[in-house]
Structure 1
């Protein structure tokens, strides 16, 4: 055991750190440094081998080899051995003092009296990996210097001070980085709220408390776009909504999104989208939906052409093949629920009590006819293949989503249009975007840590999901803006299918800070085999306790209710101390 002293400048005096003890964390030492489970002093725990669970009052943490945790005086904790390999830890115990010149002391040429008061170091918790490694090297050097002259002992103290300084600096940089991100996000929110007004870069910079040039630099670094490029994208996005789902004139749409000149608006729109506003509107609906009869005639036949509708919406009977999620979110209870071979939307059970199942395997059109639907919506064009679209159309007006509903916002608007419930759809989207923003804000806690998602399929295959679209990429990388791991970027990014098959050997080399796991119901036995493989158990993300199993039926679909549940999963897993997000439908 060694002792040492070191100090650093601090506003109002000097922070003075006194190392009181270092060494192997034996049971005897553990009982001394954590009497009754509370740290006596500042305590650094470094894991050299094995795996430990640090049980704390706030939330547990898993420590694996080369990870390091700093406890503050009085903090309650218990260290439990969790690994197959024997746990071996080292500890550094130290005091922190604030040293100040005694008030009124103006001594010159003599020794000034000082006042020392206990202080708390402004850093705690899990330390960055490079700092943990540096602490390990510092402790190794301490053993090597045993018995050396006083100079080396002094230099060793200075080195410890340097490590504390780096901890402090890292905390400040993370806080400043978080504050910058929040300032940029606030200006984006200003754009979202005020896109219909004239907004300048100078006004946005002032709101962010930056100079215009510095604001543009930080904005580009954080978003990949200039502020004005972002504002243009926001305006064009809102213009697209009106072009598709309103009968407003082009001049009115241009003015509503902040353009005083409709011709300039048209040039900007074509530059961003590639076609003129009118051409975009003409192509869009036909591009996404096959119809069995003209849309206006269908609305008239249902009494929905008027605004508000001529008859109450409730009695209208709808069959939606895998669009039940969107129907429920828009206040419609379908008259049948679709099921596949092994896929059931069990997360919707609470909303579909008493609703009969209809199987995609049998395609029993008699059951559809018996349900007496007013309209039928096919969630994917494949459901209407092989002449089935005409069979559906004989029963009721039928709409088939050509390429499926691959994003919650797109799905809400398309289904909202087919039900003549666009105001409700827009209100739902607006509220969901607020919840999404809350989720993004809470997830800033994890900084640049990376995430990935794998799926264990029922055919003994493993899929690594990519992005930015797809079942998981849409929520993780596109909507939440989380950072994909290098493995995701190299192997699965931009795949047309949204994923890439991987062998177990590739899975066991996966590098990511957090891993989401989806297991198909029929893939459970294969997963049980994989989970017992040494390659899986030795994965750093598994040893760190950062692998989270999430539900198959929620993460392998695109509905907006499912999307909200994915947000809840992501925030709860990645930030255990997070606030609970609201559900999308109150039961």
Structure 2
């Protein structure tokens, strides 16, 4: 979504005018001459020319005579989260194919649109503002279609060379061979490559090789000699020397420090690591929503933003922090680590991508245990959990029997129920409690209405109600509703309010706590000592 932030016509006498673009800036020269420095690159400005400056870029305007420009500021907004009450966005940078001086052939149309927008906004009025917004969208379309033929051909050549390096990193590579793959002269290729990526072609070769060696050492448990050979270093001493030069530590120390330098981009997978006794170096954290993890938060050195949104969910600040941390391993799910995000994270450290919907919580737990070489600890934890689940199940067989149990959530005024992945896995699989609806039809969570609850006719109700005004108001109305009062669970006083933690959390420790709370709520007169005597060895 593109949102206009302002439009102004400004006159500049000769001088120097440094600034930083708080939004995307389109500048159209109405009259005069001068230069502009954008990110250190100089461009000449004349009447009818135009520039596009990326959000967050430093620039300096240097008029040689009186210079008049129309400036249009706008933001490229990406939605990061939303609720019924509000939406959250962040400003994306780099979303256009061409920045700097715009092609002269495209400027007449761009200049005409810019002047129309300026004229519309020069006077107040909601209708004029709407017309200006429509013209901005047309202008954005013009900018998105712009390319420089030279820029495109050179960029394509450099991209071919980079692809060649990534697919042939284990083969002998020289600057001349890479220039040949790009179809450019060696000198021009080296100059443009460094301007493009900030490193020379051979420096990039070593970056790719060392990145691949890291993956072999961490994700595949390869030996040091094997990791070097498969990454393009036939000479092991040279590989060790180059690895330390690039990474700062030896390959052996890098592998040894794996468990101390893990970055977790999944709130759920952080819980798996903590259950296995591993505190990640960096993790996504929301202190307000995760008050129950305060002790763990104090041990996690770097707190990243916690977001439920996947592609583009990592903000630039967090990419920078991960880059400076240089973790040995990044752990996340396939909904978060994908597309451009996966490519950028892969440049920082090896990434273990774990399928989110492809595995249940036990599968996630075991895969992470294998990754961090804690398989025996995971097996022991699951064995203890299953024995405790059996004890609770036996107690509930006496107190609940074949009665149905429904966990109902009210969040921001919306009713919902869960499928087999979250709390359903504990209540209806591990504890064997009868669910009054078909669990298999719900992937994770499904919004419902009161009519759905009436069809279920639950014998027991577990209620998780957030503190939003909408939810509290709905809860008050529901309690007065005759249909609600007629439900067996309500009528027989088998309706229990439960907290979000542990019931709505998807993690091993939360599931263990659910067993204890299910016991205290649904079988209050039983103890684990009593059920332990009945449980088979």
TM-score bracket, shorter-length normalisation: 0.3 to 0.5
TM-score by length of 2: 0.46
